[in-house]
Structure 1
Amino acid sequence: MRYTQLRSFHAVAMAGSFTKAAAQLHVSQPTLTTQVRAMEADYQVELFLRRSTGLELTDTGRDLLQITNRLFAQEKEAELYLRESKELRTGHLRVGAVGPFHVTEMLVAFNERYPGIEVSVSIGNSRETVRSLMEFRTDIAVLAYVDNDPKLLAWQYSKDKIAAFAHKDHPLAKGRRSIRARDLSGQLMVMRERGSNTRRAIEEMLQKTQVKPKVMMEIGSREAVREAVARGIGIGTVSTAEFIPDPRLTHVAVRGCRCIQLRARCLSRREKRRATNWSISRRSDGIAETPCQ
């Protein structure tokens, strides 16, 4: 059975006339007649009674019409779904991120523009976030650093400086708005775990400036680093965008070292470029239409 035969039968049954159905489908009346008769011949059934007053469905024709009504209703539903998906009016966006700060800002802007899209967010470290993207468990990844990979497309979302922060009574923080990199020499520091992008940026800065602090503690979360510093254990570092004011803490800029920066990036798999041909930026509308590598 051919799709065109079912479509022809359905159109004739709904219109009650071969001529009217042919006009609706923009085909010739003989073409429509040939397709319906071929289906009747193939299955040795009679679908229409051809009377002088017009067409009348047989019992078989009425039963088949109930089936084609469901079939073409589902076809219209599928077409509507695909059209809305293309226009980002419906669908599900799965986002993986290394932290809530940038991704929350991004998705607020995205939701304002595309309120019909359901969004789910999973938080993990950089390795887990990239793995979820590569294994198609997420559509977009938001993180600061990723090794070059030809399978991935990347958009830069933001670039933020990293600041030092310490207990409000710490000598380096008390009454100061900034410090120099060399002021960290010999200071007790609380660091993120190795592999953290914040730690990567700080270690690059320390290496370039030949500064050697004393790492007192390595902790695998921003929140735990924050609490350790708030209890006076040492100095911590954080992106300026991620620092949350706290009466126990003072954050200070680090002067004279442009390398202390974190870049938030959005990543997608290259083969899904058409499905994710937008990126999220800090423009007023929250969306940049063309991704850049």
Structure 2
Amino acid sequence: MAISYSGLAAFHAVAEAESFTGAARARHVSQPTLSAQVRSLEESYGVRLFDRIGRQTRLTPLGQNLFVITSRLFAAQDEAQALLAGTRTLQRGHLRIAADSATHVMAALARMRSKYPGLTFSLTIGNSSEVVSQIMDFAADVAITARPISDPQIHVLKLRSDVLVAFVASDHRLAAHRSIPIEAFSGEDVVLRERGSITREVFETRLSSAGIRPANLLEVQSREAVREAVAAGFGIGITFDSEFRADPQLTRLKVTGADLAVGEYAVCRTERRRLPLVRSFFETVLEQVAEA
């Protein structure tokens, strides 16, 4: 039995939008038409691809597996269309970027927009694990992450090295110092990002290697929240040196006695690295690094 392309396209649109209404709007078709296409696909194979709970639409386990396949299928279609439609000249196109920090990626996007005014962009910020997942799931075309990756499915380009530093509220007793040994964290309250953050992963590994146990750990969901918590006196914060911004409420501290160097990488799916938009992004971030 030949599979219906329109059924697959309808399924993919709903899975991507997580909504029949949103998918119908994106595809410029009526919701009944879209629902009929998905229902026909399900009935043809005697399967259920979505669980419909009230207004919520969730993929079944089978639907999740199919979505991985359709993501590859339609990503390849986008590449073919980009090549044939002339976006290799970068007169138009849309680039989806994921990053675990906006610090460096925004400058690269500004440079690309200046060179190619016809391009549009979407940027998603998350922790390092989320960023890598978006590349693997075809939810992003390129990404900037601090997480090193050794997966043949992912093309990786190292851009620069950074280092983790500590910071405290300006009235904290450690604020009188310019640097502290890693042993200073013993018995101290520490503010860190959520699990999945490379900042937390690297720092906790270094603490464990040195046999150091902080007193209490406050977990927050963003870099901004880490800064706010530290300024409010909840403990010592950890961030990348390049991301620390001078603030009269905060004091930066170099940490000695541990290797806190972390790389920054531009990544994409290996099979997509020659796509004109992706290749141009890699060239742009390399230019930026060379001029820094």
TM-score (norm 1): 0.64
Q: CA deviation at 1:239?
A: 0.4
| Distance across 1 between alignment mates of 2:238 and 2:103 | 16
More helix by share: 2
CA 201–127 in structure 1, closer or farther in 2 if over 3 Å, else same: closer
Q: CA deviation at 1:281?
A: 6.4
Q: Percent identity, aligned pairs only?
A: 38
| Distance across 2 between alignment mates of 1:265 and 1:133 | 13
Q: CA deviation at 1:182?
A: 1.6
| Distance across 2 between alignment mates of 1:129 and 1:178 | 32
Partner of 1:268: 268
Partner of 1:139: 141
**Residue 199 of structure 2 aligns to a residue in which SS?**
helix
Partner of 2:227: 226
How many residues are matched? 208
Please list, as runs of the form range in 1=range in 2, the aligned pairs for 1:204-223 lying within 5 A after superposition: 204-223=205-224
**Residue 103 of structure 1 aligns to a residue in which SS?**
helix
Q: Letter of the aligned partner of 2:207 in structure 1?
A: L
Partner of 1:166: 168
| Distance across 2 between alignment mates of 1:97 and 1:282 | 13
Task: Point out the more displaced range, 234-243 or 204-213.
Answer: 204-213
Q: Is it true that 1:118 corresponds to 2:124 in the alignment?
A: no
Q: Is it true that 1:196 corresponds to 2:160 in the alignment?
A: no
Out of 74, 87, 98, the residue aligned to residue 85 of structure 1 is 87
| Distance across 2 between alignment mates of 1:99 and 1:156 | 16
Partner of 2:150: 148
- List alignment gaps of at least 5 residues for structure 1: 1-78, 289-293
| Distance across 2 between alignment mates of 1:85 and 1:202 | 42
Partner of 1:237: 238
Q: CA deviation at 1:83?
A: 7.1
Please list, as runs of the form range in 1=range in 2, the aligned pairs for 1:64-83 lying within 5 A after superposition: 82=84
Could you say which structure has the larger radius of gyration? Answer: 1
Q: How much is the aligned-residue C-alpha RMSD, in angstroms? A: 2.6
Partner of 2:248: 247
Q: CA deviation at 1:243?
A: 1.1
Partner of 2:101: 99
Q: CA deviation at 1:80?
A: 11
**Residue 211 of structure 1 aligns to a residue in which SS?**
coil
| Distance across 2 between alignment mates of 1:171 and 1:281 | 43
| Distance across 1 between alignment mates of 2:249 and 2:190 | 17
Q: Letter of the aligned partner of 1:121 in structure 2?
A: L
| Distance across 2 between alignment mates of 1:160 and 1:281 | 19
Q: Letter of the aligned partner of 2:133 in structure 1?
A: R
